[in-house]
Amino acid sequence: MKTRRIAATLALMTPLATVAEPTLEHVVVSATQQDTGSLELPLSIALVNREDLLTVLHVHANEVFQRVPGAWISRGNGQESLTALRSPVLTGPGSCGAFFMAADGISLRAPGFCNVNQLFDANTEQAERIEVLKGPSTALYGSGAMHGLVNVITPAPTEQLFHRIAAEAGPHDYRRGRYQVSNSIGRHGFMLAANAASDGGYKRSSGFDQYKGNLRHRYDGDGFALDSILAITDLDQETAGFITGFEAYEDSDRKKENPNPEAYRKADSQRFQSTLTLPVDDFSRLVFTPYWRNNDMEFLQHFLPWQPVERNGHESFGLNSKYYREGSWLTSVSGIDLETTDGWLEETQEEPFSPNQPAGVHYDYQVDALLAAAWTQLSWNLARQLMLNAGARFEYTEYDYDNRTGDGPACEPSASACRFFRPADREDDFDNWSVNVGALWDLMPGHALFLRAARGFRAPQTTELYRLQGNQAQADLDSESLDSVELGGRGSYRGFSYEVGLYYYEKDDVIFQDANRFNVSGASTLHYGLDLGLRWQLTDTVDLALDASLARHEYDSDIELLGSSGSIKGNHIDTAPEHFGSARVGWNFLPRFRGELEWVHMGEYYLEPDNRHEYDGHDVFNLRVTGAWRQFDFGIRATNITDQDYAERADFGFGSYRYFVGEPRSYYFEVGYRLSP
């Protein structure tokens, strides 16, 4: 029980600690990457580990998140994506605020300045692991940690020299190179991981060039430890747009069609953080993490007929501070988080489209943002088989908005219904609370049951407040909140392990765009379902895995959305399949050689709030073989081996079915060389 208490507290104390796999047995790693024992928490948690990442060798994050029950990273063109985590695939300018996307515990983008594609700001390709916490998070995380947390962990320095270089080739002139080196000398440890990829694109006039790198340094001093990380990403992408027409993805003459050859996206990010750990005594420590973040992006909004160009960015400075203490029956971690951000957005249009979508500047504004939070998370051992966990967080968010162009409509006075409205300078602030309480029972050795209730929140995003349409002069928005109840269990017995979570969410004050194109609060939605993760070591060489989600996501208020024909209460939320998941069979057929056959299932889903248009779903099969011989290793992948016609994402907009086409059967090959003891 003491081991569990220490491990649980470490997991709460630091964002660099591990989150559980969907099995009961796993390793908890501290900031110095030392094994601290088994972790059990009253949370629904999942892990994509290093072995998964080296097996999948993903080109897009969608491929690895298929191993997380309840998660769907919907794949757009190139590296673009939309997220679903016990939720619909959320779209719109502020939808990304429902998820806390982080690397090494620091949000990839500042609160209030999220982007739906923000996962390409993390080096998932060379991560040590990807941690996923489903539902409202613990008190450590604030605005955005409603539907879940994704945390990408950078590899730590190795104790001995490790070198690896790899080259990969695939279809459509796809090329990727990886390099990683790590070592420790005396009190210093370092790790460098970098990769570069170039893709000619399956569709015409598409493709991307992408570069990512992480540098990590660890210093173990006398009475303190310092762990620093520098992360850099750069993406230059030609973006192919939707193809339109009912089931157009089945038309072989149209699958490579690109109606938007002029579309592009450029994005770069830089992040630096340094974690200082100071032991106070044998039972407590202080942890300080100052950080700096910078993000810039430019892209053509090809999904709009008038095709404006958006440029946005922000620079942040922050400090996370924590105090951890372990007692004989009570452990605690408390902290204060501070962050200041300078953000901006510009939208311009080169050619006139109509009087309501004129050429010129649509928006040009700057927002200075401040975030301050205080929180505490506690864990009690009430009995030998019972642990109680509870926490609370108060967070204050302030926006100081400066309109750098003319106030009011962006159109001439003669325009009948101008699409763009620039509000006058203003200040907005939001106070939010999140709470959580959970209990975990050891039913018997190797099996545990947990019950948890929690509230999460997100403050409005700056684009929801200041990027207005129609004649809306001001958006008076409230923070969204999500109340959750979950019953779950995990366990293992003789090579079989499971994790199951049954959840019910009520989300209130949902921000949406009404029939007048106004950004308003007040909608309610319901989300309930079951996540299931199973692992079975069938024989010494054969193993099975299943990750499945059964859920319903529905509108729960009498509202009319933009594009709906009336009240949609009780309707399914669009792009919210009731069932999806994946299953795998693995075969270790030779020493250091492994094959894996994967089945990816996507159920049918509606494409708009009226539930009149639908995508039928699909089933795709992938085959992977990995192996090693002496200092060489390799990976061979065949994706969509049955050459299924399918859509990675479907929707209905501007009066037409629209699809991102799934690629046909494709082959990839990687060979690597390792220099290590």
Does residue 608 register a pLDDT over 50?
yes
pLDDT tens digit string along 478-537? 999 999 999 999 999 999 999 999 999 999 999 998 888 899 999 999 999 999 999 999
- Beta strand 81-85 with 71-75 is antiparallel
Does residue 31 register a pLDDT over 90?
no
Does residue 676 register a pLDDT over 90?
no
Token readout for 131 is 């941690």
Alpha carbons 198 and 52: distance in angstroms, whole number: 23
What are the φ/ψ torsions at residue 51 (nearest 5 degrees)? -65, -40
Alpha carbons 63 and 72: distance in angstroms, whole number: 9
Q: Where are the domains of the chain?
A: 2-675
CB 633 within 8 A of CB 672: yes
- Beta strand 174-185 with 207-220 is unpaired
pLDDT tens digit string along 184-237? 999 999 999 999 999 999 999 999 999 999 999 999 999 999 999 999 999 999
pLDDT band, residue 467 (cuts 50/70/90): very high
What amino acid occupies position 466?
Y
Segment 164-189 mean pLDDT: 96
Region for residue 216 given its phi and psi (left: phi exceeds 0; alpha: psi -120 to 50; beta: otherwise): beta
CB 510 within 8 A of CB 147: no
Instruction: Count CB atoms within 10 A of the CB of residue 278.
Output: 13
Threshold 0.95, pTM exceeds: no
Does residue 603 register a pLDDT over 90?
yes
What amino acid occupies position 441?
W
User: What is the CATH code for 2-675?
Assistant: 2.40.170.20
**CA distances in angstroms from 183 to 30, 109, 522, listed in the order given:** 18, 30, 54
Token readout for 380 is 């009690």
pLDDT tens digit string along 546-587? 999 999 999 999 888 877 788 899 999 999 999 999 999 999
Q: Tell me the pLDDT of the chain averaged across its residues.
A: 91
Q: Which residues of 394-404 are buried (b: 16+ CB within 10 A; e: fewer)?
A: ebebbbebebe
